[in-house]
A = this chain, B = another copy of it.
Amino acid sequence: MTRYVYAFAEGGRDMADVLGGKGANLAEMTRLGLPVPPGFTVTTRACREYLATGAEPEGLGAQVAHALAELEHRIGRELGGRDNPLLLSVRSGSKFSMPGMMETILDIGLGDESVLGLAKAADSERFAWDSYRRLLQMYGRTVLGIAPGLFDRHEPTDDPAQLVEDFKQVIRDATGEEFPQDPGEQLYRAIRAVFRSWNSERARLYRSREHIPDDLGTAVNIQVMVFGNLGPTATSRGSGTGVAFTRDPATGARGVYGDYLPDAQGEDVVAGIRNAVPLAELDRLDPTSYRQLVDHMGTLEHQYRDLCDIEFTVERGTLWMLQTRVGKRTAEAAFRIAEALVDERMIGDDEALARVGGAQLARLMFPRFEAHADTRPLAHGVPASPGAAVGAIVFDSAEAVRRAATGDKVILVRRETTPDDLPGMVAAEAVLTSRGGKTSHAAVVARGMGKVCVCGAEELTVDVGARTLTAPDQAVLAEGTVISVDGTAGTVHLGALPLADSPVGRFLDTGERDGVLTDAVARTLEHADSVRRLGVRANADTPEDAARARRYGADGIGLCRTEHMFLGERRSLVEAMILAEDETGRCAALDALLPLQRDDFTAILAAMDGLPVTIRLIDPPLHEFLPDRTELAVRVATHPTTHDRRLLAAVERMHESNPMLGLRGVRLGLVVPGLVEMQVRAIAEAVVERLRVGGDPQAEIMVPLVGAVEELRIVRETAQRVLAEVSDASGLTVDCPIGTMIELPRAALTAGRIAEAADFFSFGTNDLTQTAWGLSRDDAEASFFPAYLAQGIFAASPFETLDRDGVGRLVRIAVEEGRATKPGLKTGVCGEHGGDPDSIHFFHDTGLDYVSCSPFRVPAARLEAGRAALANRADGASAAT
């Protein structure tokens, strides 16, 4: 027969699958001999079967009855009995913590008779009637589905017995039934209500957001009630309830932390109804209970080898442990506790690494606002690039540059940004946009520069013409108004909030360890580096970015985008190339670009001397370097000039309905004569310059947007010819590996053939996601992503976390088939996913050689690469046993 019920004494903390987290931990504490009110747990399986069939699983009723009888026998009290009645709590508890998402019902067993027995036993009529009132309220809401407002309408009175009558009437009115006096009926209906709460809307939404599977179900813990509200802990016979942490969850410091609330039930603490006192106060009020508690905390921390979070109750001087779990903590505490436990020899370095995450490290790297919990934000947006910044708002790039030059701190505010805004973004402290998501231009570029960014703040109206920002409360902010932008929280605040510097950021920049935290981070990163198999490179287009990437521990550059070098003043040369009416004109423009590109490459190769630098040939459609079609057409219609007319003709000629799918990437190289030659020559000559001064340049040439091996073959032949020419001319050997991006589904599907002409693959998972899903991230994030996330179609944006089933499958196919053609083919990833913790584990598992991400994500990526290696090792070990 299927077993649906376990007494606490029968379980343990490794049984969370069966008993849920809370049940497993109650069993563990019972096993350790800690004072846990006795009880039993109904398994998650019972819940799953109930939800699947709508009926109680066969045998569950009998097993609960049996466990209840044993409990009654053991403590010598009867559920809902006349004298000193046994009361029960019925609590949910799933495998993964879902705080507040499911239901709890307390004081089960009370009725019109037992309330009198309770009053006598507790020597408090008021307490007994208040408990009955609580039961009616919770039962009415949870089991009977009565709207909470119907109870809340009744003011708390001095006569709890009257309130009980009122609440009974509420139940009668709402359901046409009497509140059941049979304690067994109360219990069974409460269990079923907890089962059902697994599928409540808020629970489903929470799981979707937290990536918790929908098919786990919840366990139900049925436990003898103990009461913290039997009079205040003023003497050693007093009562109260509290929460305790074995270390400070905010900083990780050792010591006993927590709050104590005299004369209260647990839910009063959670609800924050009354003010608590610091836990240490208990030592003064009830030293025996306090010493017992501290003793139990030691036992638990030793057993769990981690920070434990404990709920307890003191009932007339007797300490009861109600719950424990490994406690949540801040990022800072996570690092400090992990390394402290290593020092205390509780855990090893591997375990310490497993207990922190890249996302936590990322949160520690940037300045933050000291405290703005009390500051109402002006508006909310997408937290697109972490950190905190204060500055005066400006509405265009030129103004940002002008003001920054005079030493002002500015915030660049735009509807959305384009490559034209780059100088302004560099000059600004932060970027704020009213449109676009986490992978909009503003977000991607800001993250790449480590600039604070909040984007998609749709409540704000940006009027660049009028140079105003209008807040949702209709306040109009003129240029120059000072605001504060929190890129970690995604909030915007009026005025200057006080800033706190980041010691971790300073450590990463300078190597300076100035305290326990930086020391813990440094040690964790060192260990990650020692165990990781995956290389971590950076995406960097400038010598400054390259230098930073190196400081942050990058193993090279995985993506150097040459088109960024086509912007700014050089734009006119690109324009000249596009507008050239003949071979001569185009050649002249290309010739003028050559030395500029060469100098860029020389500087980057110098900054990364000795490490690989993967340079991607130009990728975006050339018309991106021309003005916007609509703006230009309006200008020509209203203030025509010859140059604009000519420009408009070119824009019209080159207009594409879907530029993402148009003339870009390798296609440019195959259509625009001389372009590949110019870029390869610039790279080769930069290599020569570095060799001449004794450097160790490791340039790699990468061809974007290849769909068929033939495209790569043609470009490869051209590139090799140019490399040979430069070698001949210089007398030095210039030999760069030539590889390709795999960023189109067809490239992945024909990777076996493409590998014939490629020295390496680099997965462009941004474009691969766009094409595999058929969606443009800029358009989609603004239009239908919110609806998709709300409807649970996406658990996370596929541009943040790699979609393993679709895009990931393409990556696996390409790695396998590419290596079948060319064993040992080097493979990496250079999309945004290269810096995403979850995705990094996938890339490790898939056998890639490296990930590449923005310099600011390099430390977190190193950490995650280390963790992935450990996870893999653990999997291997368990597979071997």
Contact = CB atoms under 8 A, between A and B. Distances in A.
A805 B750 contact: yes
Contacts of A743: 774
Interface residues on A, range: 35 or more
A772 B744 CA distance: 6
A20 interface: no
B810 A745 contact: yes
Contacts of A774: 660-661, 705, 707, 743-746, 767, 771
Contacts of A805: 746, 749-750, 753
Contacts of A656: 776, 779, 783
Contacts of A634: 633-634, 637
A708 B671 CA distance: 36
Given A661-B661, A774-B743, A791 B714 contact: yes
A630 interface: yes
A280 interface: no
Contacts of A773: 707, 744, 746
A780 B773 CA distance: 20
A131 interface: no
Nearest to A664: B774
Contacts of A474: none
A767 B771 CA distance: 10
A659 B657 contact: yes
B707 A806 contact: yes
Interface in A762-808: 767, 770-776, 778-780, 783-784, 787-788, 791-794, 803, 805-807
B746 A772 contact: yes
Nearest to A632: B630
Given A658-B659, A659-B657, A806-B745, A671 B787 contact: yes
A729 to B, nearest CB: 28
A29 B666 CA distance: 52
A809 interface: yes
A163 interface: no
Contacts of A809: 749
A328 B805 CA distance: 51
**Residue among A667, A770, A774 facing the most chain B CB atoms (10 A cut-off):** A774
A389 to B, nearest CB: 28
A338 interface: no
A629 interface: yes
Copies in the complex: 2
A662 interface: yes
A660 B658 contact: yes
Contact of A749 (B707, B708, B772): B772
B662 A710 contact: no
A663 to B, nearest CB: 4
Given A743-B774, A806-B745, A661 B793 contact: no
A771 B793 contact: no
A745 B771 CA distance: 7
Contacts of A53: none
**Residue among A658, A670, A744, A803 facing the most chain B CB atoms (10 A cut-off):** A658
A773 B772 CA distance: 10
Interface string A544-565: 0000000000000000000000
Nearest to A634: B637
Contacts of A708: 793-794, 806
A638 interface: yes
Nearest to A707: B773
Given A657-B776, A771-B774, A772-B771, A783 B671 contact: yes
Contacts of A658: 658-661, 776, 778-779
A424 B667 CA distance: 35
Contacts of A350: none
A726 to B, nearest CB: 24
A648 to B, nearest CB: 10
B744 A661 contact: no
B661 A776 contact: yes
A72 interface: no
A575 interface: no
Contacts of A775: 661-662, 707
A83 interface: no
A711 interface: yes
Interface string A738-755: 000001111001100100
Contact of A661 (B637, B714, B780, B794): B780
B770 A745 contact: no
Interface string A655-682: 0111111110001001100000000000
B663 A660 contact: no
A775 B630 CA distance: 23
B749 A661 contact: no
Interface string A96-138: 0000000000000000000000000000000000000000000
Nearest to A770: B661
Contacts of A746: 772-774, 803, 805-807
A710 B214 CA distance: 14
A301 to B, nearest CB: 42
A460 to B, nearest CB: 16
Contact of A780 (B662, B710, B714, B776): B662
A784 B657 contact: no
Given A670-B788, A708-B793, A776 B810 contact: no
8 contacts: A658-B658, A662-B783, A670-B791, A671-B784, A710-B793, A745-B745, A745-B771, A771-B771
Given A658-B658, A708-B794, 4 more contacts: A657-B660, A661-B776, A663-B783, A667-B783
Those 4 A-B pairs whose CB atoms lie nearest each other, nearest first: A746-B806, A661-B776, A658-B776, A745-B745
